[in-house]
A and B are shown apart, each in its own frame.
Chain A
Amino acid sequence: MENTSRSTRECSGKEGCDHVELAKRIINGNIRAASRLIRDLEDDVLQAKETLKHIYPHTGRAQVIGITGSPGAGKSTITDELVSAFREKENKVAVLAVDPSSPFSGGAILGDRIRMQRHASDPDVFIRSLATRGALGGLSNAVGSAIHILDAMGKDRILVETVGVGQQEVDVINHAHTVIVVLVPGMGDDIQAIKAGIMEVADIFVINKAHRDGTRRLQKELLSLLDLKGECPGEWKPPVILVDDVLNKDTFNENIATLCRTIEDHHQHLVRTRLLEKKLEKKAVVEILGVLRSSILGPIVKELQATGEFDDMVSRVMKRQNDPYTLVEEVKGNFLRNGKG
């Protein structure tokens, strides 16, 4: 393996470094360089975006699969099995596992990779844990950038795993071409969660631990919800796949094989119906909006906060001395004319 730790570290995040060289290293599959860059992008290091520019032309090849569901549903186990299944086909695989940050300390315990550690020393599997960090929209950008980096590294499949609650997670999962929602019987509030938004994004449902009581009921509820959605001819109807890993490894392996086939079917469907193009178009829109927000709005807000102007604005609005519209017009005038943004 190429020894690049120093140069990567020195280059990344600093001005005047050779972004072309770094991008090349990543495209050649250098893990250290890639993981460094993902970190820099997560930390919002400005210079890191330079490197990303050189990486971008090499992206757009990988299939991105999202895996979501409530805590304890067994997402990581499913992810881990999918990694194995894809490795058997000699696909190069990456996993991005998102876990929440503590709202109190800002720290996080990222424990998803624990279930995938058997792949840790496989050089063609790259697993990266990300914390939500609570920055508005930031997570989705970081995940988007990470996907580009892994894509450029030559990964064939990129699995994005996240807890299925909240807008932030839905944004993250929108990076995926195919979204799998993992459920488990007996957790009670699953159906509520599905109604609350995951339903819209799900392409495939998995009922995990399907030997348990309540599997049939969950399956029935799910199917009737899906029926409620109505069905147009030629439209993809999310299949419900039962997976059971208890007492019989053989059936479990069959279940996973079915899941893999369904992922493939869905992909073919996306290609055939040109939905993939639409998805990619939507992704491009989201991505541009995200970058606009982070590179124009972000610096403006940062500067306003740094100079104390932001607090000032808040207090003026509160005292009804000004309205937010006028204030923002002023800001717009200042910043955009000066070209600061």
Chain B
Amino acid sequence: MERKIRIMVAKPGLDGHDRGARILARCFRDAGFEVIYTGCHQTPEQIASAAIQEDVDLVGLSCLSGAHKYLFPKVVELLKEQGAEDIAVIGGGIIPEQDFDLLYKAGVKEVFTPGRSLESIVDWIRENISVQ
């Protein structure tokens, strides 16, 4: 029985710089994953409930506005509140290294910043995410 990995790619907050998010969405599709793309300008509430409705295994957040310190932990928190803490959350965008710890502590599984190859991100997913 083949189970497809389902990933939600979402842009929380108000910035519309979706180059990275869109490249990743394509890359995930080409890696054989099913990608639910929510587009820009999403609130953490929208992202969390969409992730649950779509029953994804992973939520990939991209933020370039500097608001990641509020937005990423909020998504993790909302998923937990709704009984979906098993949905993994990863993040990317313009995230200074000094913020990584705060994000990891908040429950973000991994942070990918510019310079990571697409292949290495796909590998990370194959290693760390499986359909339970």
**Closest beta carbon of chain B to A306's beta carbon, Å:** 12
Q: CA–CA, A39 to B55, complex, Å?
A: 7
The total number of A-B Cβ pairs within 8 Å is 106
Contact pick for A120, options B31, B49, B84, B132, CB 8 Å: B49
B46 within 8 A of A: yes
B30 within 8 A of A: yes
Interface residues on B, range: 35 or more
**Closest beta carbon of chain A to B118's beta carbon, Å:** 13
Contact pick for A110, options B2, B30, B36, B47, CB 8 Å: B36
Given the interface contacts A107-B34, A110-B37, does A121 sit within 8 Å of B49 by beta carbon?
yes
Number of interface residues of A (CB under 8 A): 39
B16 within 8 A of A: no
Cβ of A113 and Cβ of B38 under 8 Å apart?
Answer: yes
Cβ of B29 and Cβ of A105 under 8 Å apart?
Answer: yes
**Closest beta carbon of chain A to B72's beta carbon, Å:** 18
Contact pick for A43, options B2, B32, B82, CB 8 Å: B2
A9 within 8 A of B: yes
Per-residue CB contact flags for chain A residues 97-132 toward chain B (1 = under 8 Å, else 0) read 000011011111111011001101101001111010
Q: CA–CA, A104 to B26, complex, Å?
A: 13
A31 within 8 A of B: yes
Cβ of B38 and Cβ of A110 under 8 Å apart?
Answer: no
Per-residue CB contact flags for chain A residues 293-316 toward chain B (1 = under 8 Å, else 0) read 000000000000000000000000
Q: CA–CA, A137 to B42, complex, Å?
A: 35
- Which 9 A-B residue pairings sit nearest by Cβ, starting from the closest? A120-B46, A107-B29, A3-B83, A35-B55, A114-B39, A5-B83, A39-B55, A121-B45, A107-B32
